[in-house]
Amino acid sequence: MQSRTPDIDRINELQQLLDKYNYQYYVLDDPTVPDVEYDRLFKELCELEKKHPFFYGNSPTRRRGAAPLAAFKQITHKIPMLSLDNAFTPEDIENFVRKIQERLNSKQTVNFIAEPKLDGLAVSLVYENGELKYAATRGDGDTGEDITQNCLTIQDIPLQLKTANPPAWTEVRGEVYMSKNKFQALNQQAIQDGSKTFANPRNAAAGSLRQLDPKITRKRGLSFYAYSLPQTDLPTQQACLEQLKSWGFAVAQEIKPVLGVNGCKEYYQYLGEKRNSLPFEIDGIVFKVNDLNLQQQLGFISRSPRWAIAYKFPAQEELTELLAVEFQVGRTGILTPVARLQPVFVGGVTVSNATLHNMDEIARKDVRVGDTVIVRRAGDVIPEVASVVLDKRPANTKPILPPANCPVCNSVAVQIADEAAIRCMGELSCPAQLKESIAHFAALRAIDIDGLGDKIVDQLVEAKLLNNVADLYSLTYAELIKLERMGEKSVHNLLAAIEQSKNSKFDRFIFALGIREVGATTARTLALEFASLNKLMSASVEQLMAIKDIGPVVAENIYIFFQQAHNLQVIQRLIAAGITWSETKIQDNLPLAGKTFVLTGVLVNFTRDLAREQLQQLGAVVASSVSKNTSFVVAGSEAGSKLDKAQQLGVKILDEAALIKLLEEYTK
């Protein structure tokens, strides 16, 4: 008997580990490690078992899947459903093609069919006299689970073959998958329901297909692509695909014939560039010898055919260590947790930072500093920490705590009730929010500084001429004339607009401060309620909540804003710069004051009375007839003579969508 060595111990360890991962992946539909980690361990085990062949035993390297679940009736496959060997490099593809030519004793260029490798669940469909008899999963390759009732709910699976002369018996194989959109919707609903989310579309598809209640499967919106006829008299794989399409099956549009190793490499490049724009997930390409006679000559090894291979794309998920968490402040004051990672190559680039989204996601995924995590990167999407590998969690991990203060300006950071995001409350003073706060302050419905567009704001901030909105009133001709595309006339106009903006209205000034969730309508409500700015700034949450249409969240936002010393300093500087305002009166300063509307036709989204009420609340006059003094005619469906008269008089006409947009603009 061979003595134990470190290799033998490692073989035993890997076999047990891969058995566990197989069970989680195939049976529970709940993987705990990314595919790339499984592939690494599997390759290591293959190499060790080649050196020590007596220790194969019931190794995962000899299996094709996992045992079927006992909850389902079992079905034995007439032809085993094999797995595929993997290729990861151009050299692997070159070796694959070279071995085929050697076995065929031919130097002739081999024709292949290139098929996207969908990340779904392999399924066998059996038809008798053209009618679907039963459907089964791969299972362990020899025996699968009877999922016939669930497959009946998938619209892409024909219940009857579209042919006048169906074969007495035929088997169709393909992939059940879930589209990216359906997967995102499913997980979003799971988060809202407080239930467990799926790791990826493959496991979502597998979990949906193996429901004991077919009604649940139906709701998940699964799809099916056919790719194989295991028993056929047709000459080529391409002919099989054409046969499948003629019978009514969906076949992946991206499938193409390719010639030799160069054709395989070119197709890999082509589909790799297209990968992220596909509506479904793929993790590689399957290359199959096109000639079915050659497939028979090449034959099989224990778990895979010699005539096909899966050429994997660079992993979109990888394992690495979470070293630390920092919080970054966005333009609108939202603090986003960013994971600092042990650098890892994933999705074609080296990743050292990844988003953690928000504190709710951190809690849901139970992420801690020191964890081994799965980081995901797909295309140009920002890398994210997808999940934690709890089996690898050390004892000294540290919980991630929300910051009490903004890391940029040190203002208080608040997580408002019912919001996942944490916000910096130093709106007027936080450098991270500077461009956003200036653009808002200068907007038409706020202080209204004509000519101060985004590009000029960018230049002023980048030239360090503005540190907060109060600095606008300290700008000089000498500073502005140096800016790009700012001539003498433009500078004079801008300085005049800044000076003119000092004469404002109280509600416009409140709105210009940029208090979270205080729009123009709420600002006007506050201006009517409080006789002075000092009274508003000293109002308690309870006093604010006592005002009609101001709820607890808005009240707390207002209260916290005026508690920040940085914000108060900026307000004091604005007043010292000469900003004054007149009192806002009940009928003064409504955004649609002086405008006359006429409503005609049928509105879909609200009644005529509701539309009239909303327009009147914004100061508009709603008249019953059209005249030359009418500002707008809102025309729904079946509009009649009023619409005709408006067209004759040249009155501006709005459809219902334009009315909704107008109302939304002034009621934010």
pLDDT digit string (tens) for 247-259? Answer: 999 999 999 999 9
Cβ pair 545, 555 in contact under 8 A: yes
Q: How far apart are CA 154 and CA 144, in angstroms?
A: 19
Statement: residue 109 has pLDDT above 70: yes
Q: How far is CA 327 from CA 184, 201, 401, 417, in A?
A: 26, 30, 11, 20
Tokens of 411: 């203002």
pLDDT in tens, 182-238: 998 998 888 888 787 887 888 888 888 888 888 888 888 899 999 999 999 999 999
DSSP string, 13-43: HHHHHHHHHHIIIIISS--SS-HHHHHHHHH
Q: How far apart are CA 536 and CA 567, in angstroms?
A: 14
Q: How far apart are CA 367 and CA 386, in angstroms?
A: 10
**Local structure of residue 583 (DSSP, 8 states):** P
Q: Which amino acid is at 191?
A: I
Q: DSSP 3-state assignment of 58?
A: coil
pLDDT in tens, 597-620: 889 888 888 777 778 778 877 877
Statement: residue 543 has pLDDT above 90: yes
Tokens of 568: 């108060």
pLDDT in tens, 490-505: 999 999 999 999 999 8
The percentage of the chain sitting over the pLDDT mark of 70, rounded to a whole number, equals 94
Q: DSSP 3-state assignment of 224?
A: strand
Q: How far apart are CA 300 and CA 294, in angstroms?
A: 12
Which is more confident, 495 or 418? 495
Q: How far apart are CA 586 and CA 667, in angstroms?
A: 16
Which is more confident, 62 or 42? 42
Active site residue: 20, 73, 107, 117, which one? Answer: 117
Which is more confident, 37 or 231? 231
432 phi, psi to nearest 5 deg: -65, -25
**Local structure of residue 275 (DSSP, 8 states):** G
Residue 106 pLDDT: 87
The percentage of the chain sitting over the pLDDT mark of 90, rounded to a whole number, equals 50
Q: How far apart are CA 574 and CA 572, in angstroms?
A: 5
Helix residue ranges, H only, 467-599: 477-480, 488-500, 506-512, 520-529, 533-537, 541-545, 552-561, 565-576
Statement: residue 513 has pLDDT above 80: yes
Statement: residue 522 has pLDDT above 90: no
Statement: residue 65 has pLDDT above 70: no
Q: How far apart are CA 173 and CA 181, in angstroms?
A: 24
**What pTM did the predictor assign?**
0.57
Domains of the chain: 6-62 (1.10.287.610), 75-312 (3.30.470.30), 317-399 (2.40.50.140), 413-582 (1.10.150.20), 596-666 (3.40.50.10190)
Region 82-105: mean pLDDT is 93
Which among 597, 593, 594 is positioned nearest to 608, based on CA atoms?
597
Mean pLDDT of the chain: 88
Q: Which amino acid is at 388?
A: V
Q: Has 117 been annotated as catalytic?
A: yes
Which among 227, 2, 232, 275 is positioned nearest to 121, based on CA atoms?
227
Statement: residue 1 has pLDDT above 50: no
pLDDT in tens, 261-287: 999 999 999 999 899 889 999 989 999
